[in-house]
Amino acid sequence: MNANLLGNPHSQSPSSLLSTEYVETARLRMLQFFRADPNHFDLVFVANATAALKLVAEGLCDHGQDRSLHYGYHADAHTSLVGIRELASAGSRCFFEDAEVEEWLSQGVPILRNGQCDDLGQVIGLFAFPAQSNMNGRRLPLDWPGRLRTSALKAGREVYSLLDAAAYVATAQLDLSDHANAPDFTALSFYKIFGFPDLGALIVRKASGHALLRRPFFGGGTVDMVINGADEAWHSKKQGALHEALEDGTPAFHSTAALHCALDVHQRLYGSMRNVSQHCSHLAAHLYSRLASLAHGNSKTVCTIYRGKTADYNNPKTQGPTIAFNLQTSNGIWIGKSDFERLATINGIQLRTGGVCNPGGIASYLDLSPREMRENFAEGLRCGNGFDEMNGKPTGIIRVSFGAMSCMRDVEAFMRFMSIFVDKTSRQTTRSKDRNLLSESKHFGTSATTREMLAESEEPCDDAGCHNTMKVAAVAEVDGSSQEASTYLVQ
């Protein structure tokens, strides 16, 4: 990039042709990275994972042919995946448990709207789920798309699968080599894998790609001819490769060219995603064990860890390297997530707290009913504000996760930091000030709880492990929503 002039690929100049070459070779290399055969898959470059999800939703529901979309999604879905339901004119269904999906697939019940069967020719079905929960790292069954394709649900019906792989691909090998059982559409983000560039992709199974070509919108680069006017208005969409009809406007050719560098460095440092997966899984299992056994002097548990029913930190097929938890004092009072994050920042640790853009996971694991969530909202709870506990329950979680650059020193540094929150005395009495101190953590500013804990910690940790390549789920604002970032602390 330093040695060459790159131009808009929608031209035939030398600089434009060079950009086209970089973009197309990057496309092929990334398909290879995900073990996706170019004969069966195409890769569409987009701004981020959310843009990929939106492209699918708009392609299926907004094509003016008097057909409606019915949407089914898993409760572990990221906010951006949940948002597709607003475009589903035939209604939507949330699968709250894996067992509900299993029952749906095995029984082959037709798509429903208001409890009644729709005219099958008038409804398009879309089933979406995350490969990995972005809240607690639980990994969901990846055989659902293949089973959907061969189930009775597909008989005479147009039903597609959408996989949100954004959290999964950061530390696991996405394997699309079995095209017959692969998702129809897979959304992901490259910055979660490489840290840079800020770019996303939609991987489309070519056998299903026609469903996205019915969208009415067209942008620069996706059409061969356009005629303006009222009665004369006409256009012809490109009929070549699928991505040519879906990548609206000028591609992010500099970012796409940077993928070559990112991929080269990643492979040189780590060898393969299998290596990354094994390494991160080992670290997460070790930290989980340490946190789970952490106790106050009166034997009360320090951490409440939100782990899936089938998740096993020693099995990367069921659990990613992410741990979601909250803390309690020796007297059972919740420690505010905002206080925890402030102290972590002072100690050189970046992590994420709050609702983490996973409304279903938060509601389920924190046992918050829809009524309670509405009441909390009415009382002032908003995404990112300091209301940490309401009506005796936490409003969000603390999330830590590991990446390729993490190491065992990071685990040890984090556990030293966690010692701040452990009451090693054995007294059972409740300090009269505890409740007042922690109630202050619901609001903005440094609470008295934080000041007290700062005094107990004496000084920030200056151990090399605290600042050495520690990745503990950082925050990045992407198209208006917070998502996990591949951010590292480097000494």
Q: Output the DSSP codes for 364-399.
A: HHTT--HHHHHHHHHTT--TTSS--EETTEESSEEE
User: For residue 384, which amino acid is it?
Assistant: G
State the Cα–Cα distance between residues 160 and 56, nearest whole angstrom. Answer: 10
Helix (H) or strand (E) holding 52: helix 49-61
In whole angstroms, give the CA distance from residue 184 to residue 172. 20
Closest CA to 254 of 34, 15, 14: 15
Looking at 357, 383, 407, 461, which residue is catalytic?
357
> Does the active-site annotation cover 407?
no
Helix, coil or strand: residue 238: coil
Is residue 27 within 8 Å of residue 45, measured between CB atoms?
yes
Name 222's Cβ contacts closer than 8 Å, sequence gap at least 6.
237, 238, 244, 245, 246, 247, 248
Round to whole Å and give the CA distance between 442 and 439.
6
Residues 6 or more apart in contact with residue 10 via CB below 8 angstroms: 16, 220, 221, 250
Residue indicated by tokens 């060219």: 257
Q: How far is CA 267 from the centre of its chain?
A: 23
Please tell me the distance from the alpha carbon of residue 458 to that of residue 125, in angstroms, as a whole number: 58
* β-strand pairing of 389-390 with 393-394: antiparallel
Q: Which residue has the tokens 């440092």?
A: 269
Q: Are 167 and 140 in contact (CB under 8 A)?
A: no
Pairing of strands 68-74, 123-130: parallel
The DSSP-derived string for 325-349 is EEEE-TTSPEEPHHHHHHHHHHTT-
CA–CA distances in Å: residue 289 to residues 283, 284, 294, 406, 419: 10, 8, 9, 17, 15
Residues annotated as part of the active site: 357
